[in-house]
Structure 1
Amino acid sequence: MRAFVTGGSGFVGRNLITALRARGDSVRALARSSTAVAAVTEAGAEPFEGDLSDADKLRPGMEGCDTVFHAAAYVKSWGPREAFYEANVRGTERVLEAARAAGVKRFVHISTEAVLVDGRQLVKVNETWPVPERPIGDYPSTKAEAERLVLSVNSPEFTTVAVRPRFVWGRGDTSLLPEFVEAVRSKRFMWFGGGRYLSSTCHVANCVEGALLAAEKGRGGEAYFLTDGEPVVFRDFITKLLATQGVDAGTRSVPAGLASLLATLGDLLWGTLHLGGRPPLSRTEFLLMGREVTVSDEKARRELGYEGRRSIEEGLRELKADHREKSPRTL
C-alpha cells in the first residue's frame, strides 16, 4: 500500500503510520508545522507540508497513493463552532476533493461514536442506529456531517469507508487521559451517579487494526464500530486508567440528574452569553461520559475479520510501564 495520512502527528495518526511502516507500506503524511513534520518523520512517514485549507495544494501529496486515511479533526469538548466546522467539515470536503483528483482508490475516514449523540441513551447500538440530523454539540454534529459526506461520495472508482472507535485510549494519548489526570489533580473530577454504568472502549492499537482492515476489506459507503470487545464498568476502567499514572480517582460523586442539569445550563450560558473559557461540563461530555454508551463491533468482526487484538490488560500494563519510565527517579 502507498498511503497518505492526515492528522499524522495526532494520537491515532502516529500509531497508524507506525503500523503501516511496520508491515512495509509506503506512507506520506500531511504536516502543517515544524512540530508536526518532526512527529510524522519520527513515526516513519515522509512529511508533506500543508494543511486542510486548500484541495489543490493537498493533491500533489496524494498523487501515487492508493489509499487515504483521514484522521485529522478538531477534537475539543468546547470551542467556537467555526473552528469545528472549518476543520471537520470543510477540511474533509477538501481532502475528498484532493483524493479523487489524485486518483486515490480507497478512503478511510476516522469517525466516532459521538456522531450518534442526540440525547437518547446509546446501549448496545450497532450501525443500523440512525445518525441524527444534528447531534448535540459542535464536535459530534460536525463529525456527523463529515461522515455523511464521506460515505455519500462512495463509488465503484472511489471506495469510501468510515470507522467509529469508541473512547480511544492507550500509550501516547494526548487528549482524554491527560484531561482526566488534570481534572483529578485540580479537584474537579467527580463520578456521575457513582460511575457504575457500562462503557465501550477502543485501544488505539485496535483502532488502527480496524482502520487497516477497513482499507482492505471495508464495503464502500459503510461505517464500522470498533471496540475492545465486551463493555467495561466505566468507574472500574477509569480508576485503573488513572492508576497507571499514579493518580487516585477518589470517590467524589454527583447525582446524574444534577450533572445533566448543570451540563444543560452550561451549554445555555456559555453558548448564548459567549462567556470566556469553557463551561465546567457540557452536554456532549455528559452524554458521552456520564452514562452508559455501549456499541457493538460485530459487523467489523464479521465483515472485516476484526479481532481487537490488544487487550485492556495489556494496554494498561503498557501505560503503567511508560509512566514509570518517564517519571523522575529519586535516590
Structure 2
Amino acid sequence: MRVFVTGATGFIGSAVVRELLDAGHRVTGLARSDTAAAALTAAGVDVHRGDLDDPGSLREGAAGADGVVHLGFVHDFSDFAGACATDLRAIETIGAALEGTGRPLVMASGTTGLAQGTVGTEEDTVPPNSFGMVRARSENTAVALAGRGVRASAVRFPPTVHGRGDHGVLAGLIAIARQKGFSAHIGDGTNRWPSVHRSDAARLVRLALESAPAGTRLHAVDDEAVPFHAVAAVLGRHLDLPVRGVSPDEAVAHFGWLGNVAGLDVPASSALTRKWLGWEPTGPGLIEDLDEGHYFAG
C-alpha cells in the first residue's frame, strides 16, 4: 500500500513509519522543512513537501496514496484553539480527496477529552459543550467520512505515549521536578491516566490502516489507569527528590500548561480495540519503562 503520512518525523510518527515500512508498505511523508525532508529520506521514506496549512499539498498527497495516516498537529499550546482549527481543516481537505474511494484514513485523536472519573471506552464520545470538544471536532469529522465512502478511523492516544526518545509529557514532568526541587502530584494524586508504549501505538496505527472498519474509534491504551502519584513517586526516586502534592489552585503555577491536564482522572479501556483488531500490547508498561532509567539519562 502507498501510504501518505503527516507528522511522519514526530515521536509517534517516526515509529509508525518504521512499522509501515517493515510491513512492506511504501511511505510518503509530509515535510515542511529541509531538516524534516532529510530525516524522511534517511528513513527510506519518499518526501512530499508541504504543510498542514497548505490544503493543496495535503490534497495532492492524499489523492496519490492508497491510504492516509494523519498524525501531524501544530503543538502550539499558546493557541490551542488555532491548532485544532488547523487540524480540522486538514481532515476536511484529506477527506475530500479520499471521498468515494473506499480508501483508509487513520487520524490521531486523544482520550483526555472523555468524561472524567469513569473508564472511557471506544463507544464513548467527548461530552458536548466541554473543553475537549475543541479537539474532538476533528475526530467527529473524520469518523463521519465513513458516510462519504472513506474507510476512516480515529486512534485515540492517551496523554502518555512513552518510550526512548520521548520529549513530551513525561519529559516535561521530569524537567519541572528538577526545576522545582520536588516531584509533584495534584491533591492526593489518585487521579488516573492511561498510557501506551510507542511501539504498541505504532502497531495499532498500522492495523487500523490495514483493517479497521469505517467509522471506528480505537484506543491505543495498554495501562488503563496509572495513578498520578505513582508516576510522581518514580520520578522522585530516580531524581532523588521529595514527592509531595500541590493544591489544584497551585497546579498551573507549578506545572505550567501541564497543570490543566495533570489533575485529570481519565482512565480508559482498549477492550473493544483488542477484540476488533486483535491488537495486544507487548511493550513495557509506563512504570516499568520509567524504571528502566532512560528518561533520566543526561
TM-score by length of 2: 0.86
Distance 1:313 1:150, change over 3 A: closer
Shift of 1:239: 3.9
* 1:286 Cα offset (Å): 4.9
Give the corresponding residue for 1:172.
Answer: 165
Q: How do 1:172-321 and structure 2 match up within 5 A?
A: 172-187=165-180, 190-240=184-234, 247-248=239-240, 250-255=242-247, 259=248, 261-262=249-250, 285-286=258-259, 288-312=261-285, 316=289, 320-321=293-294
Aligned with 2:243: secondary structure? coil
Q: What displacement does 1:191 show?
A: 1.3
Query: Are 1:131 and 2:126 an aligned pair?
Result: yes
Cα shift at 1:322: 7.7
> Residue type of the partner of 2:172?
E
- CA change 1:132–1:99 in 2 (3 A) is same
CA distance in 2, matches of 1:280, 1:197: 17
Contact 2:195/2:221 (8 A) holds in 1: yes
CA contact (8 A) 1:171 1:318 kept: no
Question: May I ask how many residue pairs the two structures share in their alignment?
Answer: 296
User: How far is 1:134 from its partner?
Assistant: 3.4
Structure 1 residue 55: Cα displacement: 2.6
Contact kept? 2:197, 2:222, Cα under 8 Å: yes
Alpha-carbon distance in structure 2 between the residues aligned to 1:248 and 1:184: 10
Displacement of 1:211: 1.2
- Show the counterpart of 2:90: 91
The Cα of 1:74 is off from its aligned counterpart by 2.5
Deviations along 1:104-149, one digit per CA (max 9) or x if unpaired, are: 7000011101232xxx52421212323223332xxx4332010011
Return 51-60 or 25-34, whichever deviates more.
51-60
Query: Could you tell which deviates more after superposition, 25-34 or 52-61?
Result: 52-61
Tell me: CA distance 1:223–1:129, structure 2 relative to 1, closer, same or farther (3 Å). Answer: same
> CA 1:185/1:35 → structure 2, altered by over 3 Å: closer, same or farther?
same
**8 A Cα contact 1:162 1:222, kept in partner:** yes
Residue 160 of structure 1 pairs with residue 152 of structure 2: yes
Task: Work out the percentage of aligned pairs sharing the same amino acid.
Answer: 27
CA distance in 2 between counterparts of 1:314 and 1:288 reads 19
Taking a change above 3 Å as real, the CA distance of residues 146 and 32 of structure 1, as seen in their structure-2 partners, is same
Whole-Å separation in 1 of the counterparts to 2:148 and 2:112: 28
Letter in 2 for 1:72: G
Given that residues 177 and 242 in structure 1 are in contact (C-alpha distance below 8 angstroms), is that contact kept between their aligned partners in structure 2?
A: no
The whole-number CA distance in structure 2 between the counterparts of 1:104 and 1:173 is 34
Secondary structure in 2 matching 1:47 = strand
* Uncovered stretches (5+) of structure 2, i.e. residues with no partner: none
For residues 305 and 111 of structure 1, the distance between their equivalents in structure 2, rounded to whole angstroms, comes to 20
* CA spacing shift, 1:319–1:49, aligned 2, 3 Å: farther
Q: CA deviation at 1:161?
A: 0.4
Cα deviation for residue 227 of structure 1 reads: 1.0
Asked if residue 121 in structure 1 is aligned to residue 105 in structure 2, the reply is no
Q: Give the aligned residue type for 2:125.
A: P
Is contact 1:170–1:319 with CA below 8 Å preserved after alignment?
no
The residue that corresponds to 1:107 in the other structure is 105
**Does the 8 Å CA contact 2:233/2:243 hold for their aligned counterparts?**
no
In the alignment, residue 131 of structure 1 is paired with which amino acid?
Answer: V
Deviation per residue, 1:234-277 (Å, 9 max, x gap): 2223543676xx5345313124xxx1x456xx6xxxxxxxxxxx
- SS of 2:146's partner is coil
Please list, as runs of the form range in 1=range in 2, the aligned pairs for 1:5-84 lying within 5 A after superposition. Answer: 5-76=5-76, 78-81=77-80, 83-84=82-83
1:54 and 1:94 in contact (8 A); partners too: no
SS at match of 1:68: strand
Alpha-carbon distance in 1 for matches of 2:206, 2:140 = 21
CA distance in 2 between partners of 1:127 and 1:313 (Å): 21
Describe the shift of the 1:40–1:87 C-alpha distance in structure 2 as closer, same or farther (beyond 3 A).
farther
After the TM superposition, which residues 143-154 of structure 1 pair with which residues of structure 2 at under 5 Å, given as runs?
Answer: 143-154=135-146
- Per the alignment, in what secondary structure is the counterpart of residue 114 of structure 1? coil
After TM superposition, the score normalised by the length of structure 1 is: 0.78
The alpha-carbon deviation at position 301 of structure 1 amounts to 0.7
Q: Which runs of 5+ in 1 are unaligned?
A: 267-278
2:93 aligned partner, one-letter code: R
Tell me which moved more, 299-308 or 175-184: 175-184
CA distance 1:203–1:30, change in 2 (3 Å): same
- Which digits, 9 at most, give the CA deviation of each residue in 1:5-28, with x for residues without a partner? 001111111110011112221000
